[in-house]
Structure 1
Amino acid sequence: MNEAHQEELTSFEEQHKVVQKNIPYYDLKWKSVENPATKDTWNWLAFFFSTFWLAYRKMYKPFFIISGIQLLWAIPFYFTDLTAWLDLPFYGIISIIVGSFGNRWYFNHTNHVLKQARALPETVQDSYIQTKGGTHVGIMLGLHTLLFALFFALDFGLSFIPTETNIKDVVRISEEADTLEVYMDNPKWNYIKQEGRHHVVEFTGYDYTEKEDVRIVLYVYFDKYMYEWNQVYINGKKLNEEDSIDYELYIEDSSW
């Protein structure tokens, strides 16, 4: 993203033609360091809006690189049990990187546009700079529509792979699972094995209101994306069929 050298730097007046909007801000930031092509200054807009800011400023290369990293980051969550809280430090790091390096990236981007323009006939240079420089809300929205579509397609495709994580998620995304996790201390979901058409998934937890250890065995039919309760154990003792149904209805009613 930084291939410009000091001798290739152009005057800020030339770069104004590329920046077009919010020129005083970038003038201030770039003049605050000895060499804005290699030195970084902080950009709050880039920090908070990251890929939106990159697309808005027509910096397509860093936009696609960071978007690609975000897409790759989502893949492991379908193959192993990773907490969603990991997204916070990941996207926080992305924001810090773009906020820290954004002004330098943009300075080198304007240099690149001017360099490309000089290689063209003089009669079309201004038109080229007007087209490649400035900002564009439509491009920003269009690229993020594409990005969200790719995230949706990735989620749709990977969620149908019969990994242990995806199989457990058939149960874990249900309202009953939410209720069980709220009612229990140390709730855990374990994949046990496959038996014919169904997979055996087990939930364990401690019911702090009733002072009971709870273990529930569920059958997951991944091809139909559905599950059913099979057995309920309270303090290691298996409940009879009637009591198991009553317990399931109790959790189901509490979920509503």
Structure 2
Amino acid sequence: MALSSDAAASPAGEPDGREAERLFVGRHYDFVRKSWEMAEHRSPKRCWNWYAFLFSFSWLGYRKMYRLAWVVIFAHFFLNLGVDIYTMGEEESQWGAWLVSLGIQMAIALALGFFGMPLYQQHVKRRIADIQAKYGPEQAWAELARQGGTNFWSIFGMLFFWILLAGVVSPLILFFALSLSEAGRRAFPDAAAVPAYSTSPAWSASRERSPRASVTWPLCAQPLKRSTT
């Protein structure tokens, strides 16, 4: 509500620069701006953020970067699902699959921990530019306050959707994949067996009669000497 009153009391001119950023980011803008400035002095742009590292896609949803949050969720889901399907039915590979899944989770968390704030800066600049291009100067103030800020409830929404994927959808897919695999083995019991390499008697007989099989090299009575010319 404070942001809305500030927007209503703002001057009629078009919001620009730091004013637009402060209005769009909302709470903790000073901390966010300091993180952006730290990232500006590094190549590639990066700065560490514990919230992005620990909460991953939930943090993206909290900052209203919904599109990137869905990308991270589904990338995480399909990568882990691929590992589970690849090691399905192999007891000795379960530890390896767990380590690979943990590595995927850590890689995504570290990437967001280092590059989450620069990604948020790009998101803020893009949304401010879109709002200023779509709305007039007076309405832009209100839209920046309405479309910006944070969404606390999206944290629970993202977590619920992830639990649904990992706890319901993934086991169902693995169950059907295992059922199809067992049905395929029952229908084609010899499909997985690799036949041993063998030759027919006719081929062996023709090979023995071949002139190439009886070629011998004459013995050399004198040792070979290296030419000096």
Shorter-chain TM band = 0.5 to 0.7
Distance 1:35 1:162 in 2: 49
**Residue number in structure 2 paired with 1:14:** 20
TM-score (norm 2): 0.61
**Residue number in structure 2 paired with 1:92:** 106
Classify 1:113/1:162 alpha carbon distance in 2 versus 1 (closer, same or farther; 3 Å).
Answer: closer
- 2:152 aligned to 100, 120, 137, which one? 137
RMSD of aligned alpha carbons: 2.9
State the identity as a percent: 21
Q: For 2:176, what is the secondary structure of its paired residue?
A: coil
Classify 1:85/1:164 alpha carbon distance in 2 versus 1 (closer, same or farther; 3 Å).
Answer: farther
**Residue number in structure 2 paired with 1:42:** 48
Give how far 1:66 is off: 0.7
**Residue number in structure 2 paired with 1:219:** none
Number of matched residues?
A: 162
Q: How does 1:121-200 map to 2 (within 5 A)?
A: 121-163=136-178, 194=186
Query: Where does the alignment leave 5 or more consecutive residues of structure 1 unmatched?
Result: 1-9, 168-192, 196-256
Distance 1:105 1:152 in 2: 29
Give how far 1:65 is off: 1.1
1:103 matched to 2:117? The reply is yes
Give how far 1:150 is off: 2.8
Aligned partner letter, 2:70: F
Give how far 1:162 is off: 4.8
- Structure showing the higher helix proportion among its residues: 2
Please tell me whether the aligned partners of residues 30 and 36 of structure 1 are also in contact (alpha carbons under 8 angstroms): no
Distance 1:72 1:136 in 2: 26
Distance 2:37 2:87 in 1: 48
Query: Where does the alignment leave 5 or more consecutive residues of structure 2 unmatched?
Result: 1-15, 188-229
TM-score (norm 1): 0.55
The structure showing larger relative contact order (alpha-carbon pairs under 8 Å, at least 6 residues apart) is 2
Distance 1:43 1:79 in 2: 34
- 1:61 aligned to 63, 67, 71, which one? 67
Classify 1:155/1:31 alpha carbon distance in 2 versus 1 (closer, same or farther; 3 Å).
Answer: closer
Instruction: Determine which structure has more spread, i.e. the larger CA radius of gyration.
Output: 2
Classify 1:162/1:94 alpha carbon distance in 2 versus 1 (closer, same or farther; 3 Å).
Answer: closer
Give how far 1:32 is off: 2.6
Q: For 1:147, what is the secondary structure of its paired residue?
A: helix
Aligned partner letter, 1:61: R
Distance 1:164 1:144 in 2: 29
Classify 1:74/1:165 alpha carbon distance in 2 versus 1 (closer, same or farther; 3 Å).
Answer: farther
Distance 2:39 2:53 in 1: 19
- Structure showing the higher strand proportion among its residues: 1
1:117 matched to 2:127? The reply is no
